[in-house]
Amino acid sequence: MNVPFVDLPADGQPWVYLASQSPRRQALLREWGVLPVPLLPDADEDAEALEAPRPGEPPAAYVRRVTRAKLSAALARLRRRGWPAGVVLAADTTVALDGAILGKPADAAAARAMLARLSGRTHEVLTAVAVAAGGRRWLRVSRSRVVWRALAPAEIDAYVASGEPFGKAGAYAIQGRAALWVRRIAGSHSGIVGLPAFETGELLARAGLALLR
């Protein structure tokens, strides 16, 4: 498939191929001074199939496997398109409660059920980030704990009606309205958003992109 290439910055700004449609990850990279060049799936790729959990798969194993698969798919996509060589970044985020994976809700009923399970509980958010450059690959995982206050059914209904839960692991976005429910976090706020700053910076440095020079 002939996919047009995005022009690269002429001023030497660091850039990476980003194998993610997440506007949150794009925004974080821009905040860190890195231009994200989208490396998105072709129309005939079943990208959602990569995120299907396996029966009994632990959340940490799941997020690692999915991120590795996303990175491999992105590298194959880059070769297929014949675009210039560059650093490739892929990531995946999942929410875990009592060892169970809470992925993206399929509909409003699923979103309500997830939010009700998280209400008044402490859950874990795991984000894996993987980087490839020069034939080498690196992967790191960020783990954070999030404590929520108890939610009233009406609050859950209003949040689902806002549309914010859809396309989000665990049916919420900590950078959105759900932040009002968070008593505290232990870990990486950017990791909960979808791209952990510390781990991403370390991996990009290994790939030759030293930020904050």
Catalytic residues: 92
β-bridge pairing 122-133 and 100-102: unpaired
Cα torsion 43, 24, 67, 132: sign? positive
Token pair belonging to 117: 């399970």
Q: Which residues contact 23 (CB under 8 A, 6 or more apart)?
A: none
Cα 81 from chain centroid (whole Å): 24
Containing H/E element for 38?
strand 35-38
The residue length of the chain stands at 213
